[in-house]
Copies of this chain bind each other. A is one copy, B any other.
Amino acid sequence: MKETFGKLLKDLRREKNVSQRELAEKIGVDFSYISKVENDRLPPPAAETTIKIARALGIPVEELLSHGNKLPLDLKDMLGSNAAALKFMNAARDMQLSKDEWGLLTENLKRLR
């Protein structure tokens, strides 16, 4: 159904004409690690590494994160320590919100203040 993280990364990297070694150096990992991730031999990198990759390639961070199913630490902390936010998220999950509905909520957020 959904494209793997590896394939997505490989395609994006190639589009930008960056070698595995170049990318690896920019983000501070071994290049062989990039290879394995691109071929889905290893799971997607940690959130912070994924973010570095997105920045290095100049693509929206969320797209990559969501394909890797990874949560940045700051978000995890915010949610994990906030009962009210947790309740909100539980309710949202139960409603199975669509992409557009999430967009709407993000708009509402700005109008909240």
B83 lies within 8 A of A63 (CB): yes
B81 lies within 8 A of A109 (CB): no
Per the CB 8 Å criterion, the residue count for chain A at the interface is: 44
A74 CA to B93 CA, complexed, in Å: 8
Report chain B residues within 8 Å CB of A99.
82-84
A residues 34-84 with Cβ under 8 Å of B? 60, 62-63, 65-71, 74-84
Given contacts A80-B69, A80-B71, A82-B66, contact A104 B93 (CB under 8 A): no
Q: From DSSP, what is the main secondary structure of chain A's interface residues?
A: helix
Chain B residue at smallest Cβ distance from A82: B66
Residue among A79, A93, A104 with max Cβ neighbours from chain B (10 Å): A79
A80 CA to B83 CA, complexed, in Å: 19
Report chain B residues within 8 Å CB of A65.
80, 83, 86
Question: Contact residues of A with B, CB < 8 Å?
Answer: 60, 62-63, 65-71, 74-93, 95, 97, 99, 101-106, 108-110, 112-113
